[in-house]
Copies of this chain bind each other. A is one copy, B any other.
Amino acid sequence: MSKYQHIKQTAYEANMQLPQLGLVLFTFGNVSAADRDLGVFAIKPSGVPYSQLTPEKMVIVDFDGNTIEGDLRPSSDTLTHAVLYKHWEGINGIVHTHSTYATAWAQSQRCIPIFGTTHADHLTTDIPCAPPMSDELIQGNYEYQTGFQILDHFKEKGLDPKKVEMVLVGNHAPFTWGKTAEKAVYNSAVLESVAQMAYLTEQINANAPRLKDALINKHYQRKHGPDSYYGQ
């Protein structure tokens, strides 16, 4: 048995959640799961329908994007995953989807404003939207540069990827991550729900106010702060 079996299994199960949560059409999404001790991650093979996935088909890739094990070609977005794993130490799972509402915001090139507590339960800032890359970078090593586009946007905005576990890539679509692949999938579903609610909020009230700081902090802290009291 492969010594990577555990992350293949994790990545497989996390990938299979995407269609169940209504986050992907056909093969438009992928999840990876990392093992930092082994310095690798397991990721969905490119273009394989979810109905044909098995744990064995997951591809093992190192943090520089080299395929370590697997007969299939990894997801075309593999280098974006590799860059994020290499530079952001705390994350062990990454998800990319083209989920409908989050992608519509990305296409609109707008951050998603923080309008309510559903949003603040998960992060305290607007959901960032990284601008599209320069033509030069797009024509170069595109997926590799997509990773740096995300890293640079977080640096520029002073965002902490342990606290803001999601991003929209302008004109493209969302990426989410987390301590585990399962958490990264959870974040993708939360993002899609928050994106739909924010869209509706602006339709109902074009002047809807941003959530006030006291509520942002209260909701975030009760779930994530040192004295959190949500969950068991």
- Residues of A whose CB lies within 8 Å of any CB of B are 25-26, 28, 45-48, 72-73, 76, 98, 100-101, 103-110, 115-118, 132-133, 135, 138-139, 142, 171-173, 186, 189-190, 193, 196-205, 208-209, 211-215, 218, 222, 229-232
Contacts and interface: CB of A to CB of B under 8 A. Distances in A.
A45 B231 CA distance: 8
A211 B222 CA distance: 40
Contacts of A190: 25-26
Contacts of A98: 117-118, 193
Nearest to A110: B205
B115 A171 contact: yes
17 contacts: A46-B230, A46-B231, A73-B231, A76-B229, A101-B200, A104-B204, A108-B205, A108-B208, A109-B208, A110-B204, A116-B172, A117-B173, A139-B214, A139-B218, A171-B215, A199-B203, A199-B204
A186 B26 CA distance: 8
Given A73-B231, A108-B204, A116-B171, 9 more contacts: A46-B229, A104-B200, A104-B204, A107-B115, A108-B205, A109-B208, A117-B173, A135-B213, A171-B211
A100 B205 contact: no
B73 A232 contact: yes
Given A116-B103, A173-B117, A189-B26, A47 B197 contact: no
A142 B109 contact: no
Contacts of A189: 25-26
Nearest to A134: B214
A232 B200 contact: no
Contacts of A196: 100
Contact of A193 (B100, B202, B232): B100
Contact of A218 (B45, B142, B218): B142
